[in-house]
Structures are given as C-alpha cells and as structure tokens.
C-alpha cells in the first residue's frame, strides 16, 4: 500500500538542539511561509536509525544538516555516510559556520554531501529547493558551493537579510523545555556582532556577505514573539541567544528602553524572567536597573581572560581593571552573572596562567559566579586559527583543531587541568552544571514559588556551595601551576603522582559538595521529573 501523502515532506532539517536551534527553526518557518513542507529532527534525541526511518517515511527531496559545532563534524560525517549506505537518494545539503568557511574540505571529504549553504540560509535554501532539478542553474544561486566535473565551485556571497522583522517567528516545538512546570524558550533579537574577537567566528561568518555585520529586530517585533510564546506555550523564562546585547551607544539604550516599555505595556514585565549575554564594556548600571525591573534575572559575560596578556591576544579591547569595575557594577545593581573563561591560549605563559588563577580566585570568592575554564580552541574562520596556521602551529583534526604551547611545561599543566576538571566543568552531571542549575532553580523559586519556599534562603545556600567549589578548584589549580612552574618537563612527568594526589583531593571535595547539593534541592522541592529537557543555563 502506498504511504499517505500527508506523511511526506519537502525538506527535512537535522540539527543539534540543547536549546531550540533558532537558526534551523527560522529557516523552517521561512520555507513553510513559502509553501514548502518542512520537518525538523533534533539530532541528539534521534539515533541514525530513527533519522533513516523519518526519511523513509517522509520522503523529503532535501535533507539539510545544521552543523553549528565544529566538534560535531565527525558525528555528521558518520550520519551522512550511514544514510548514503542505506541508499537514501535525497539531496544532502549542509550549513553552519564550519561548512561556510571550509566548504571545499566538506565537499572533498564528505562525498555524501551534494551542496553547502553558506552564511544565512533562508533565501539560499529556498532557491536551491526551487532549482533542485536544474543543476545547470546552480551557479546562479548566491551563497552556494557544490561539485561539478570533479571540481568544487562556489558562487558569490548572498547579501545578508536587511530587515529581520520581515522573517516569520521561528517554528517552535510543542514539547519544549519546562522547569517546575514553567515554559522556557530561547529567542534572538539580533544577528551578528560588532566586534572582532580573535577566537570567535561570528564576525567572520557575517562580514564576508554584503550588509551590516549586526542587524537588530525592532523591540516591538521581539515583544510580539514573547507574547506569543507566553500565551500559546506557557513560556515565562526567556533566554536571549544574541551574541551581545548592546547598551553602550545612545541608540542601543533607546532600543532597550523601548523594549522594556513594550514589555510593560504587554503586561509581561512582572510575569517573566529573562537572561542576556553582553560584553564587559557594555555594562551600564542605569540600563541594568531598568531591565531588572522588567524581569532581567541574569547576565552572561564573555570575560575570557583575567590577564591583560590574554585579553590582548583575544583582541577584546578592554583590560582586567575594566572587568573588575563592571563586575562591581553588577554586584551593586544585584544582577546575578556567569561568564566564559579561557585559562589557556596559544601564547600563554606561566605568568599569565598565574594571573588567570588569581583572577578566578578573586571573582569567585563570594560565590556569586562559578569558577570554570577551558583551553581556547582555534576554530575555523577565526583570526587566531589563521595566525597559528601561518606559524605552523595549527595541529589536531578538522573536528578538534589544537596547538602546543610555546612553554612545554604548560602542556603538562593543561593535561592535568583537563584530567582533573573537565567532568566538573563541562559534563551535565558535573559540579559546575549542577550548581549552575541549582542557582537557576533558586531564581525560579524566588520569582514564581515564593509562597511555597524561601527562594532567598535557597539562593544563599547555593551560593555557599558555589563558594566552596570555587575555593577548592582555584587552590588545586594554583598548587598544580606552582608545581609545574618549579620543574623541568622531565621532572614533571617523573613526579606526576603528586599531581594525581591533588586531583584526588578535588574529587573528594566535589563529591561532598554534590551530596550536600542533592539534599538542598530536595529540601526545596526539586524533582528531576519537574524539568523536561533539563535547561542548561550556561549554554
């Protein structure tokens, strides 16, 4: 019996979703508006067998893969190869930052891929769908790369979408994240970034195409989407995925002021919580207070380094003293914050690592924010990756690019930090994510469940545990750094057992804090079943 036409679709979009993949969902909404039937398959919730089953059931003409994390390149390559071995004949296209920059590598090493959609995907994927049966016309499609006669061809860049208000709201999942029964959704008020940090590919992603590097939706349009999510999906917690919410220039503050007034006029200001990301040098006390009154509950900061040496390498445009001033402002206003931090970068020295540890110790001593850190990765398309390549230092694989330090002792220190802290810092079950989640939970309790629990006392208890975790981590980091700095490389390897003892000390502290955290969250009524697709507030 023939399958029902109702079960078919024109385009199947496959992508990773920790929160909703707004890029993928914007494309889906845009294509749907044009009469194209679209289905989204979140990669992490689906095995390759399920994706194959969906393809066989839906019979899409195009399968589009959203590669937003370079580290997942091998996962996508394996999935694509598997689907082709199962004789899936649909057109395979792929987009995202890495395919945009490395389209030749994608088309050369992934024979199952037919085309690469570069930069913004709405118009390019629409045009590709309409011309799918006329490959001779593909050279006319801007923003596309493809093979022809054994050669890779790339078309001119497509201009960026000038008016984001003209786009439909992203397609939303009916079973999106909820916490204690309260809906959570991500949204974006802008695309792009005005800055040019050396480790970041966002500016590079947009600047090659004609148009403004950063475009902003109108505040009215953003609030309309929030109203829809509030009324139709029960959403009361909003996570802005904008790379930076700007408040430096007068026009930026005017945008935010209008946004807040629109929230108040819509009756949302007292009913919601929201989080933003912003730069240290955009912190403005007056605007923070204005936003706080309308539900702003947290700020995520891209601090990245506590060393002027590191900030210069990262091309951040500010100094450590500026960071401390901005953090003091956040504390005075009473806005909780978290931050990104890269303790190692390609030009790290023993001195810069010491400065970073001291910075983390100072910032984390009050338990306001969690101490966590990573090694900077030289992602494709970034200025620092090009610099390392020119120096002959770019190593690793396409999915996991890497480098060695100029001081070989730091390779040992980085190895120790990775072995000791990676689970703590990055795993959902690790202490950083669990404490961050508890901090978020306390904020939710204080806002929405104040009649049942003392959210302020809950938050203070979480803060104490964060402070203990920070103290332990920075102490172990400091001892290990001193151990490495005082020895030659051979001596470090011979006495690795000393570092192993430090790692065991940290493990025991983490176990104790984790046990206390379990008891605390239970006391305040948290059950894992109350969170659907557990929200990751630091993601």
Q: Write out pLDDT tens, residues 107-140.
A: 999 999 999 999 999 999 999 999 999 999 999 9
pLDDT, position 423: 97
Q: Is the pLDDT of residue 1 over 70?
A: no
pLDDT, position 96: 96
- For residues 283 and 301, give the distance between their C-alpha atoms in angstroms, rounded to a whole number: 10
- For residues 67 and 121, give the distance between their C-alpha atoms in angstroms, rounded to a whole number: 12
Distances (CA, A) of 170 to 40, 46, 225, 228: 12, 21, 9, 11
Residue 539 banded pLDDT, cuts 50, 70, 90: very low
pLDDT, position 213: 87
pLDDT, position 45: 73
pLDDT, position 380: 96
Residue 80 banded pLDDT, cuts 50, 70, 90: very high
Residue 340 banded pLDDT, cuts 50, 70, 90: very high
- For residues 391 and 403, give the distance between their C-alpha atoms in angstroms, rounded to a whole number: 11
Distances (CA, A) of 467 to 84, 364, 369, 464, 473: 51, 7, 8, 5, 10
Q: What percent of the chain has pLDDT over 90?
A: 92
Report whether 42 contacts 20 (CB < 8 A). no
Please name each of the domains of the chain with its CATH number: 5-154 (3.40.50.280), 173-335 (3.20.20.70), 347-376+405-539 (no CATH)
Q: Is the pLDDT of residue 5 over 60?
A: no
Distance of CA 244 to the CA centre of its chain: 12
pLDDT tens per residue across span 234-254: 999 999 999 999 998 999 999
**Cα–Cα–Cα angle for 534, 538, 539, rounded to 5 degrees:** 75
pLDDT, position 535: 47
pLDDT tens per residue across span 273-295: 999 999 999 999 999 999 999 99
Lowest mean pLDDT among 204-208, 213-217, 321-325, 481-485: 204-208
pLDDT tens per residue across span 360-383: 999 999 999 999 999 999 999 999
Residue 528 banded pLDDT, cuts 50, 70, 90: confident
Q: For residues 484 and 175, which has the higher predicted lDDT (pLDDT)?
A: 484
Q: What is the pTM of this model?
A: 0.94
Q: Give the list of residues 6+ apart from residue 259 with CB closer than 8 angstroms, or none.
A: 189, 219, 222, 223
Q: Is the pLDDT of residue 33 over 80?
A: yes
Would you report the helix, strand and coil content of the chain in percent, each value rounded to 5?
Answer: 50, 15, 35
pLDDT, position 7: 66
Q: What percent of the chain has pLDDT over 70?
A: 97
Using DSSP's 3-state secondary structure scheme, residue 517 falls into: helix
Q: For residues 535 and 31, which has the higher predicted lDDT (pLDDT)?
A: 31
Residue 175 banded pLDDT, cuts 50, 70, 90: confident
Across all residues in the chain, what is the average pLDDT? 95
Q: Considering only CA atoms, which of 100, 76, 80, 105 is closest in space to residue 90? A: 80
Q: What stretches of 216-319 show up as alpha helix (H) in DSSP?
A: 219-233, 250-265, 285-292, 308-313
Which DSSP state fits 426?
H
Q: What is the mean pLDDT of residues 492-497?
A: 97
Question: Burial level of 399, CB count in 10 A (0-12/13-18/19+)?
Answer: middle
pLDDT, position 531: 66
pLDDT, position 534: 46
User: Tokens standing for 247?
Assistant: 């408040």
User: Tokens standing for 340?
Assistant: 């990104």
pLDDT tens per residue across span 387-442: 999 999 999 999 999 999 999 999 999 999 999 999 999 999 999 999 999 999 99
pLDDT, position 174: 86
pLDDT tens per residue across span 452-486: 999 999 999 999 999 999 999 999 999 999 999 99
Q: Is the pLDDT of residue 538 over 50?
A: no
Q: Is the pLDDT of residue 232 over 90?
A: yes
Question: Burial level of 334, CB count in 10 A (0-12/13-18/19+)?
Answer: exposed
């Amino acid at each position: 019996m023939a399958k029902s036409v109702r079960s078919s679709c024109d385009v199947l979009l496959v992508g990773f979703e920790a929160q909703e993949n707004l890029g993928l969902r914007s494309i889906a909404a845009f294509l749907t508006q044009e009469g194209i039937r679209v289905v989204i398959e979140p990669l992490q919730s689906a095995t390759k067998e399920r994706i194959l089953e969906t393809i066989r059931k839906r019979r899409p003409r195009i399968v589009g893969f959203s590669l937003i994390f370079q580290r997942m390149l091998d996962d996508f390559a394996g999935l694509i190869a598997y689907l082709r071995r199962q004789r899936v004949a649909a057109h395979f296209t792929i987009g995202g930052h890495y395919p945009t920059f490395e389209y030749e590598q994608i088309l050369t090493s992934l024979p199952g891929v037919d085309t690469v959609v570069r930069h913004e995907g709405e118009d390019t994927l629409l045009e590709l769908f309409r011309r799918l049966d006329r490959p001779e016309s593909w050279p006319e499609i801007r923003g596309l790369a493809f093979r022809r006669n054994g050669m890779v061809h790339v078309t001119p860049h497509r201009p960026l979408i000038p008016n984001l208000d003209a786009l439909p709201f992203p397609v939303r999942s009916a079973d999106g994240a909820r916490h204690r029964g309260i809906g959570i959704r991500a949204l974006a008020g802008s695309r792009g970034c005005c800055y040019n940090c050396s480790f970041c590919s966002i500016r590079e992603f947009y600047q090659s195409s004609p148009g403004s590097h950063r475009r902003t939706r109108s505040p009215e349009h953003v609030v309309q989407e929030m109203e829809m999510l509030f009324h139709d999906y029960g959403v009361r917690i909003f996570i802005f995925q904008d790379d930076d919410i700007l408040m430096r220039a007068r026009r930026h503050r005017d945008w935010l002021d209008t946004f807040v007034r629109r929230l108040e006029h819509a009756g949302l200001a007292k009913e919601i919580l929201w989080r933003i990301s912003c730069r240290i040098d955009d912190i403005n006390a007056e605007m923070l207070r204005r936003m706080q009154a309308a539900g702003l509950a947290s700020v995520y900061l891209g601090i990245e380094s506590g060393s002027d040496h590191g900030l210069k390498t990262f091309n951040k445009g500010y100094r450590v003293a500026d960071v401390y001033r901005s953090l003091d402002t956040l504390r005075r206003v009473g806005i909780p914050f978290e931050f990104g931090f890269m303790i190692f970068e390609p030009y790290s020295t023993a001195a810069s690592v010491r400065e970073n540890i001291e910075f983390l110790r100072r910032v984390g001593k009050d338990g306001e924010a969690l101490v966590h850190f990573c090694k900077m990765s030289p992602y494709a398309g970034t200025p620092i990756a090009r610099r390392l390549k020119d120096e002959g230092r770019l190593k690793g694989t396409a999915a996991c690019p890497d480098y060695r330090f100029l001081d070989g002792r730091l390779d040992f220190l980085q190895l120790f930090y990775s072995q000791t802290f990676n689970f703590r810092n990055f795993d959902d079950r690790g202490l950083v994510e669990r404490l961050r989640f508890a901090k978020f939970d306390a904020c939710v309790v204080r806002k929405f469940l104040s009649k049942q629990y003392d959210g302020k006392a809950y938050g203070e208890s979480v803060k104490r545990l964060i402070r203990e975790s920070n103290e332990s981590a920075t102490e172990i980091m400091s001892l290990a750094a001193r151990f490495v700095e005082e020895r030659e490389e051979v001596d470090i390897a011979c006495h690795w057992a000393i570092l192993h003892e430090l790692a065991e000390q940290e493990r025991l502290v983490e176990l104790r804090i984790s046990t206390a955290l379990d008891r605390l969250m239970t006391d305040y009524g948290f059950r894992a079943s109350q969170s659907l697709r557990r929200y990751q507030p630091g993601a």
